[in-house]
A and B are shown apart, each in its own frame.
Chain A
Amino acid sequence: MNEKTDSKSDPRTSRRNFLMTPAGAGAIAAAIATPGQLFAGTSANVPTIRIPKEIPATLNEDPKVGTFEGRGMTGAEVFAKLCKQEDLAAMFCCPGNYTVINAMAAAGIPSYGGRSEGPMCAAADGFSRVTGEATACSGTEGPGFTHMIMNIASAHAARTPLLVLASNMQIAGDDREAFIQTGYQQPITTGMKKYGKRLIAPDRVWEYGAYAFRNMKSGVPGPVHLDFPGEVARARFTDPANLKDYYTKDKYRTESRPQPSNKEVATAVDMIAKAQRPILVAGQGVFQRKACEALLQAAEKHEFAVVSSGPMRGHFPDDHRLSASLAPDALMSADLVVFVGQYSMPSPGEYRFNPDVKTIRVHPVQEDLGRNWPLDLGIVSDEKVFIESLANELPAKKRDAWVNELAAARKKFEDTNLAHYELGLKHSASSDHLHPAVMAKEVHDFLYKGDIDPKQTVTGIGGWTTGIFSGRWMRANRPGQGLACGYQYGAIGPDLAMTIGAGAAVQRGIGPQAPYKGAPVLCITSDAGIAYSMFELDTAAKYKIPVIAVVYNNNCWGMFPAAIGSARSMHLYLFQENLRYDKMAEGLGARGEYVRTPEELRAALKRSYQAASKETVSSLINVQALKEFTSGKEYPPGIALPTEPGVGAFAH
């Protein structure tokens, strides 16, 4: 545990020395000068990692949308045209489903090709989570499609408007095991999509595209899965009359939203006004329906508390005096909770409210009202419409006692975090490895207490141990600033890819990311998690999406305590110790950093952020730790589960 590394072989020393020397500075300068040739090979015979010229060249080509003239449009081009009409925000894919992805890219839909379909699916999810926009992912028939499954399920749990596309052989080959990769896709996504269809009639490709967007953009969103047999993707159309229901989007779907009645609003206003300590749980619907401004206005007018929930964070700023996201101790005091846009509904006991709390729930779909949580008032309404009604109808009110209680609870939470950090510092010093509480606090101070605008950096958090410790310290001070990568489904591993997807949105300045266009993004993940999507550092480099991946390396799956006391089991949970994820990152064209002390982490964050900001180069910081840090007995306090709802929450 107290193993020391001699200075000759200490990787930290060599890296630090390298960066402090003129040679190191020169290397960075050279990287700025030639972004396609960031890292020179170690010998003259080893070619340099570089971005081939075809990548920027093809990215800069003008869009070419199919037309009915001449040879006409393929089914894939017809579909791509509809996606373009619907402003599909981005597509993430691996090659396969060639006709469709080529048509989508050609139509001008921002497109990204990566290393494996699962992480690309997570990237599309991440892009959507921080913008609220519909995105797509695509993979080839059997293998590529099935590789996406974990992340389709994550997107489903997160109610992401995600269009899952996959080719699927030919109808003519159904049930014949013709050539390779045959498989029925739609049954596989049962239970993890809002809508799905194997397209079998070429003339209905537009009609089913309309089905897809109607589902993604109405009510509670969710993934839509379409699989394209060759007969549909490659069909040719020279006359729009040959396409069924070939209408513009205003004919095949509506922006009309459910409105609460005057009586319902009056009842809700009366309940809120009479409550002593009301709290509004701002679910993801508040973000996706763009109700953040109205919520701020209503909360400030009437001084009710707000705690945000969902797979993205920041739709009510953590740093606001009325935010309860950093005030877990106050949650139990609330006498009225108003759920708005809470799509994944907890059961009593999962959220830290008292057993007597009265409940109002506002939801766009009637069938879900009353599920899991008993209601005193259920209202079917669009989130934004309801919150605007509150902003108009609630009387101005001061709730000094409640505001003071929130402030006291926030201070208590921060004091507790600091106490954990102090303990972590001692553990780090005694073990010569970095404790997760220290890692989280250092990243927090770097992002929110230093020179960087605390609203700037989008963060993604994942992993078990890593997520639990980091969740207490990461902040979302504006809409779309935080990603709870493991939200609800609890997948270990999509974190980095999801954050890269969010980074693509930041690079393009989409929606709430517009003021921070071009900023780096930061992901905190685990050694277990990084294995699932590390190769997408190549994708980040290829598309100049600067991401800083902080990898908490404790040599194991975080749930290793489950093996304690079980014969012949522990080996299932452990990895080789001291693996060098930083070196692997270097091999993928990113920078690598290796740290074991707070000072080293601080310096590594600074260098990484600089490289990300100025050179659009990604970095991976390998934070070497010990698995024993999770033990409360050996290294108190050990793990403290996050309070739900609030910062660090990932279940609902």
Chain B
Amino acid sequence: MRAGVASFKILWHRDQFFDLILDTHKKTLRFPVVLPEVPSSSAIYREFKQFVESRHSENLPDHRRIDPKKATVRPSNRSGNVALTLTVKNSDYEYATRKLIHLVHETFLVFLQEGHYDYMVKVFDLDPDHL
């Protein structure tokens, strides 16, 4: 860690490298690129924002929910690269890290898998030989 900032590189979904940046000054955890090639005006981005927002919903059971009192997460889009930034509210970094990791995991296994096949084919070369 240098000046309160640490970076991690994770080989994860779709054989992609994901950068995870911890900033203890800003109290944030950030994946700068979760979904590439997503225009900010696109339907998929609109739906992704709703998906992320839904993770804070009180309708979700506690073990699936991101408690806004402990952490908040928001997506952003820079030149088509969708980032996720989680702000830690009560210094419980273990909780925050776990929730952010789960969210990215669900992004690939739930959000993309259930409704964005065309995007998976186009951006991640999904086909039966490369599921």
Interface residue ranges, A against B (CB under 8 Å): 276-277, 329, 332-333, 335, 349, 352, 354-356, 401, 405, 416, 464, 490, 559, 561-562, 631-633, 637-641, 643, 651
Contacts and interface: CB of A to CB of B under 8 A. Distances in A.
A631 B98 CA distance: 35
A332 B110 contact: yes
A561 B118 contact: yes
B106 to A, nearest CB: 6
Contacts of A335: 63
Interface residues of B, number: 24
A355 B117 contact: no
A632 B101 contact: no
B98 to A, nearest CB: 7
Contact of B63 (A333, A349, A631): A333
Chain B interface secondary structure, helix, strand, loop or mixed? helix
B113 to A, nearest CB: 5
A191 to B, nearest CB: 17
Given A332-B64, A490-B128, A349 B121 contact: no
Nearest to A565: B122
18 contacts: A276-B63, A335-B63, A349-B12, A349-B109, A354-B105, A355-B102, A356-B102, A401-B61, A464-B128, A559-B128, A561-B118, A631-B118, A637-B115, A640-B117, A641-B120, A643-B113, A643-B114, A651-B131
A349 B11 CA distance: 12
A355 B115 contact: no
B92 interface: no
Nearest 9 CB-CB pairings of A with B: A639-B117, A641-B113, A632-B118, A352-B109, A640-B114, A562-B127, A638-B117, A355-B105, A561-B121
Given A332-B110, A352-B109, A651-B131, A632 B117 contact: yes
B13 interface: yes
B64 A333 contact: yes
A637 B98 CA distance: 31
Contacts of A333: 61, 63-64
A651 B128 CA distance: 10
Interface string B47-91: 000000000000001011000000000000000000000000000
Contacts of B110: 329, 332, 352
A561 B125 CA distance: 11
A354 B102 contact: yes
Given A349-B12, A355-B105, A643-B113, 17 more contacts: A332-B102, A332-B106, A332-B110, A333-B61, A333-B63, A333-B64, A349-B13, A349-B108, A349-B109, A352-B110, A356-B98, A561-B118, A632-B117, A638-B118, A640-B113, A640-B114, A651-B131
Contacts of B102: 332, 354-356
A464 B129 CA distance: 12
A651 B64 CA distance: 26
A145 B102 CA distance: 48
A556 to B, nearest CB: 14
A638 B109 CA distance: 17
A440 to B, nearest CB: 16
Chain A interface secondary structure, helix, strand, loop or mixed? loop
A207 to B, nearest CB: 41
B59 to A, nearest CB: 9
A267 to B, nearest CB: 24
A8 B128 CA distance: 42
B64 A633 contact: no
A640 B105 contact: no
Contacts of B121: 561-562
A406 to B, nearest CB: 12
A39 to B, nearest CB: 38
Interface string B2-45: 00000000001100000000000000000000000000000000
Contacts of A464: 128
A329 B117 CA distance: 18
A332 B109 contact: yes
Contacts of B12: 349
Nearest to A561: B121
Contacts of B98: 356
Contacts of B105: 332, 349, 354-355
A352 B106 CA distance: 8
A593 to B, nearest CB: 29
Nearest to A636: B115
Nearest to A558: B128
Contacts of B128: 464, 490, 559
Contacts of A355: 101-102, 105
B84 to A, nearest CB: 15
A352 B112 CA distance: 13
B131 to A, nearest CB: 7
Nearest to B117: A639
A509 to B, nearest CB: 36
A640 B110 CA distance: 10
A405 B62 CA distance: 12
A270 B12 CA distance: 32
Contacts of A401: 61
A405 B63 CA distance: 11
B38 to A, nearest CB: 15
A336 B115 CA distance: 27
A281 to B, nearest CB: 16
A639 B112 CA distance: 11
A276 B108 CA distance: 25
Given A352-B109, A352-B110, A633 B63 contact: no
A416 B127 CA distance: 24
Nearest to B105: A355
A641 B105 CA distance: 16
Q: Which of A405, A464, A490, A639 neighbours the largest number of chain B CB atoms within 10 Å of its CB?
A: A639
A445 to B, nearest CB: 23
Nearest to A352: B109
A247 to B, nearest CB: 46
Contacts of A638: 117-118
Contacts of A332: 64, 102, 105-106, 109-110
